[in-house]
Amino acid sequence: MQELDVLIEVLKSKHDIDKESIVKLLTCKESKSIYAAADEVRSCVVGKEVHLRGLIEFSSYCCRTCFYCGLRSANSTLKRYRLEPKEILECASRAVAYGLKTIVLQSGEDKSYSINVLCKIVQAIKGMDVAVTLSIGELKRSEYAELKKAGADRYLLRIETSNENLYNGLHPGMSYKNRVRCLYDLKELGYETGTGCLIGIPGQTIDMLAEDLLFFKKLDADMIGMGPFIPCDGTPLEKSEGGKVDLVYRMMSLTRLFLPEVNMPVTTALGVKDYNGYKNGLMCGANVIMPNMGMSEYKKMYAIYPGKGESINNMENQIENIKKVVFELGRSIGVDYGSRRKTTK
Ligand code: 5AD
């Protein structure tokens, strides 16, 4: 057997290899056998179901100034919006009426919603018999605890990069240590915890991507979201080169091999960079898609990066298109909450 085949076999059975071997798998010419191995592990461990999560981007206001993100507060060219709690609940019940079993509430770090108001929103959505995922950034442990008590099941907070220097350079006024603290607090509080990284952000090396995978594994992440960095006007990185989709597929495949039980979406950023992103992502280990269930007049305004929101027409079409891709691959749509299914520990 060739060295690469041996590494893939070890990953398939032990779901662990050293960093040097990860780097080899990230840089080798052969991608097909890596994708195929990830697809096989996905099929054996999490099955053929694709879980749909209804995404509601409820506010584009953000107090942060992350170098890559179009929502950064310093981007004064952006027209901002925020939904009223009542509007958020309307979006949620529409998503539930479409049959979705998870509602994801995402926003910039907008301090105008108090934890109390957010708890009430979570409680009301939990009354609709769905899982609730939050993706609202860094909070105090006590705030995460209150939201958990209100019924939130899951939380998404990408580490963005597990390299402390690169992280600190990209996030003025924030710290890598606090980011990691948030993730471990979420885990300890019993949230299903999602993280992930940007792929192809300036300053990132293959070695750092290998470290990202080790970071996900050490955290025992329940969900991983990854997408290519897309340069965005109005940000310090607007003139930089974007991330390559092939590297995203490689990272997704290795994530599935490394953390076999994880729930992993095909991200919107990947869909923007690759017309066949949903299909290709589902063949490289992904088992989740997040249709946008927010209010149509605001979808384009949640401009984290260019191209986002443009492909989203009406919701019915969106869900029908997703189903078509899923069925063409011989897969099915998940009918339950689609929580992490633990087969080990
Ligand atoms: N390109 C791609 N992804 C981005 N994100 C933010 N800005 C960009 C960009 N320019 C991602 C971050 C964040 C998620 C919500 O969107 O990883 O965690």
- pLDDT tens-digit map of 29-82: 999 999 999 999 999 999 999 999 999 999 999 999 999 999 999 999 999 999
Atom 6 of ligand 1 has which residue's CA nearest to it? 69
* Residue 278 binned pLDDT confidence (cut-offs 50, 70, 90): very high
Q: Is 230 in the pocket of ligand 1 (CB under 6 A)?
A: yes
Q: Residue 232 is part of a domain; what is its CATH number?
A: 3.20.20.70
Ligand 1 atom having least distance to the Cα of 230: 1
Q: Which range of residues forms the domain containing residue 300?
A: 2-333
Asked whether residue 345 is domain-assigned, the answer is no
Asked whether residue 144 is domain-assigned, the answer is yes
* Residue 312 binned pLDDT confidence (cut-offs 50, 70, 90): low
Asked whether residue 254 is domain-assigned, the answer is yes
Asked whether residue 338 is domain-assigned, the answer is no
pLDDT one-digit tens code per residue, 153-187:
999 999 999 999 999 999 999 999 999 999 999 99
Beta bridge partners of 223: 194, 263
Report how far apart the first and last C-alpha atoms of the chain are (Å, whole number).
Answer: 32
Asked whether residue 47 is domain-assigned, the answer is yes
Q: Is 303 in the pocket of ligand 1 (CB under 6 A)?
A: no
Whole-number pLDDT of residue 316: 77
> What separation in Å is there between the alpha carbon of 107 and the centre of ligand 1?
12
pLDDT one-digit tens code per residue, 75-105:
999 999 999 999 999 999 999 999 999 999 9
Asked whether residue 187 is domain-assigned, the answer is yes
Atom 18 of ligand 1 has which residue's CA nearest to it? 158
> What separation in Å is there between the alpha carbon of 341 and the centre of ligand 1?
27
> What separation in Å is there between the alpha carbon of 69 and the centre of ligand 1?
6
Domain total in the chain: 1
* Residue 296 binned pLDDT confidence (cut-offs 50, 70, 90): confident
Asked whether residue 343 is domain-assigned, the answer is no
Helices assigned H by DSSP within the chain: 3-14, 19-27, 32-45, 85-97, 115-126, 141-149, 164-170, 176-188, 206-219, 245-258, 268-273, 277-282, 296-299, 315-328
Asked whether residue 230 is domain-assigned, the answer is yes
